[in-house]
A and B are shown apart, each in its own frame.
Chain A
Amino acid sequence: MTEQLHPGLNLGPQHGKAHEHAETVMFGFWVFLMSDLVIFGVIFATYVTTVNPMGIAGGPGPADIFDLKSVFIQTMLLLTSSLTFGIATLMLRHKKGVRHVVLWLSVTLALGLGFLIFEVRDFSTMFANGAAPSRSGFLSAFFALVPLHGLHVASGAVWLVVMMMQITLFGLVPMVKTRLLRLALFWHFLDVIWIGIFSIVYLGGLA
């Protein structure tokens, strides 16, 4: 049987049943991401309205609390994790087998956890310096927006663990593949959000 390679994960024969099923779940997940994007959108908008003297209310402002070096490291970790997820997807596409896929997913997980460790460390420094969310509207909005992204990354990490379990348990069957594909969308989506946070919150705040 000659198999045609086509865009996507080569779930089965082109335009076959697996393909049709994947189309629905993938589209559904895109729609979910759009909804999630609205959530981030309104929280971004809320944040932007608080970066002013009234919102800061005499408390610490952006220049007092942001550690750009740490944020840069976080950015690198997260963007690299997207790259490694992409490699995992390529391993899947070119049928390199369970071992390669799990390996690259583990690297992704490690980078994601690294990101979270740096982020939590930043937050605890801020708390220690009196920059807690109860201090001002600005800090409330900051601690709604950035940890929400962190929470997404943490959920993605849990999801990664679940997927590695399912890959081991079920092998690379279409169900697992489409879930990986959705997780990939989610993971890359978090990059997009992070670029927004990096530009608007950190660079914008220090500009």
Chain B
Amino acid sequence: MTTSADWGWPLGVFIPEQLSFVRAFNNPTTSELIGAGAASLVVLGGLALAVFLIWSGWWRPIWRDWLTSTDHKRIGIMYIVLSLVMLSRGVIEGALMRTQQAAGLNGGFLTPDHFAELFSTHGTIMVFFVAMPFVTGFINYIMPLQIGARDMSFPVMNQVSLGLTVVGATLVMISLVLGQFSTGGWTAYPPYTGKVFSPGVGPDYWIWSVAIAGIGSTLTGINVAVTIYKERAPGMHLFRMPLFTWTALCAAIILIFAMPPLTVSTLMLAMDRYLDFHFFTNDLGGNMMNYANLFWLFGHPEVYLLVLPAYGIFSEVFATYSGKRLYSYTSLVYATMAIAVLSFTVWLHHFFTMGQGANVNIAFGIATMVIAIPTGVKVYDWMATMFRGRIRFSVPMVYATGFLILFVIGGLTGVILANPTIDYQVHNSVFLVAHFHNVLIPGVLYGMLAGYHFWFPKAFGFRLSEGWGYVTATLWIFGFAFTFFPIYFVGLLGMPRRSVSYSDPAFEPFMLVAVFGAAMILSALGALVVQLLVSIRKRETFSVPLGDPWNGRTLEWATPSPPPEYNFAIIPTVTDRDMFAVAKAQGNAFEKPAEYEDITLPKNTAIGMMVWVSGTGLGLALVWQVWWLVLVCVIGMLVVLIGNTFRTDAHRVIPAAEVAAAHQAWLDQIAAATPVGRLGEATPHNKGLAAQEAVQ
């Protein structure tokens, strides 16, 4: 173990030998060079961004309009930007691991420790800093629009939540340069991650990034649930809420109840490591099984909190592109609630093999399988929604149908794993790796990408390139299939998970197919970037300022694109499900209201940024045990948060006349525009005013 003796007190346990560049210089192996290369990407990327912002002068509008904004839409977009940035790192790491395993027969080019760091960061990033911000971003952006609200209930807290989430992501990125990350997987099971077996700073990076981001997520859950309960437009009773809002509500409830166990388990692990407590140690009354319980008490609901909003997005996509109401809305709602409740009853299937006895295993095995029932209800409802619909096979529908097919396969392997006797055989093989990628990629990621394509024109006022959209979607779907189906086979052949290399030549052909699939996923990521760049370049051609490019059904489409910061000129009155579709059918979707009101909105505030700065400082100081800095950051954060409560002029008013003028201008544009039918949807004629169709 390294010591801080030479540096003394000011820098804690930090020594320059832990910089990845220094490590690579001292020991230039392929493994270290890859690490240093990634670290230099982080440093150069950060520097390039800073230089670019100063050179272009964009830092001022970005600060004014985005970083200090309390607008739920901007906060939502920032969440999604964060998640896309982290997605690129996560995908590259995944591809690197596949490459290692393709070359991994009796060797390969990575050291076991480096491989362990890779699967730990890959998992941590994908779950906490890709999937969660992506989901949170959509909920933030779409949900208040769907329920006809002006903003979230607690806009400033919303900004603070974002700040805390970014702290976690920042810490994971910094770990590439300063020191190393945990080698204990995304679940960080002690006693391996305890002080005895992992004396370095790796697990500390994991602990603080996950704990701090987790607190942000708890606050988000509270914010979302309260918003949905309290801010709905008149007439929007619960069973008129769009499906996505329903899933957002269930996800929020899961956040409120599932994040605290994560906070507790990470902080207990921290106490074990820092203060010599004995929660999960091998000696003196520690019990690591309690960690497994606490972690999965969070971890299992977590996967449903990710997948439920994706279900919500698919529900909107199937209904919109089939030109129909959702089939059996009520059963979809009940299935969503059932899944949210059941998600809390199955955590123990993550440790079937850890000796709790057959009866307990049976109970949890059955509970796990039961989740397949409401999920099956949903799948049939989505298929029935398409049945006899006027289907447009647009890009989000490609993702959605890809999801239907692949996700059912993933679900079936889940039912297989829910059987304790089978689980004994395969739980520690890559079969399990294939299973959870098979549910998380088609389930969550395709949902998010479908939503990204679906709502992008709402957020920015122009469509994404459909051509590149098809390319991207196809690459994601086939890339997934080529990467993970072979892994099921290797898993059944007995290849253990998390192993850097193997000695059985029978695994190799499968691994070669998998690396081909990984290359396709990498290209899919590339195509996603190209699609965005192409669309930005052609934004005039793709522009849909009128706000309803896909003949949408729910209230978010009843606003201009992008929506004004107050969302609705006047709060809509809801009389039906699919309110906007009904209003369009009745011909009163774009009526001028009798009178406008002044709108009160929260002022901009830098509190989220201050939380980010002090939180990142706090995390780093804790990782490196720089106690004076811990004190400074804690005091700084308290001053910021308490000081904020002394603000009395936190609101500003937008005068009714201004609202009226903007609304009138939009109505005039609508009146002058030619509606575009389904066939013209992907053409420049689509300015966001969809023609009415005969089908309901």
Contacts and interface: CB of A to CB of B under 8 A. Distances in A.
A49 B221 CA distance: 29
Q: What is the predominant secondary structure among interface residues of chain B facing chain A?
A: helix
Given A42-B294, A138-B285, A35 B259 contact: yes
B353 interface: no
Interface residues of B, number: 39
Contact of A28 (B226, B260, B272): B226
A23 to B, nearest CB: 7
B646 A34 contact: no
Contacts of B231: 24
Interface stretch (A8-16, A54-62, A101-109): A54-62
A29 to B, nearest CB: 9
B174 interface: no
Contacts of A24: 153, 226, 230-231
Given A46-B279, A133-B275, A57 B226 contact: no
Nearest to A141: B279
B530 interface: no
Given A133-B277, A137-B287, A35 B257 contact: yes
Nearest to A23: B230
B260 A162 contact: no
Nearest to B218: A35
B52 interface: no
A169 B647 CA distance: 12
A140 B645 contact: no
Interface string B262-297: 011000100110011111010111110010001001
A80 interface: no
Interface in A129-188: 133-141, 143-144, 158, 162, 166, 169-170, 175, 179
Interface of A: 23-25, 27-28, 31-32, 34-36, 38-39, 42-43, 46, 49-50, 54-57, 59, 133-141, 143-144, 158, 162, 166, 169-170, 175, 179
B524 interface: no
B256 interface: yes
B334 interface: no
A137 B280 CA distance: 8
B190 to A, nearest CB: 12
Interface string B545-588: 00000000000000000000000000000000000000000000
A148 to B, nearest CB: 9
A137 B256 contact: no
A158 B281 CA distance: 35
A165 B272 CA distance: 39
Contacts of B278: 57, 133-137, 139-140
B154 interface: yes
B226 A144 contact: no
Contact of A144 (B153, B221, B260, B271): B271
Nearest to A136: B285
A55 B225 contact: no
Ranked 10 nearest A-B pairs via Cβ: A137-B285, A57-B285, A134-B276, A38-B260, A140-B277, A39-B260, A55-B285, A136-B285, A28-B226, A24-B230
A136 B287 CA distance: 11
Nearest to B261: A42
B297 A42 contact: yes
Contacts of A136: 278, 284-285
A134 B275 contact: yes
B642 interface: yes
Contacts of A49: 287, 290
A175 to B, nearest CB: 8
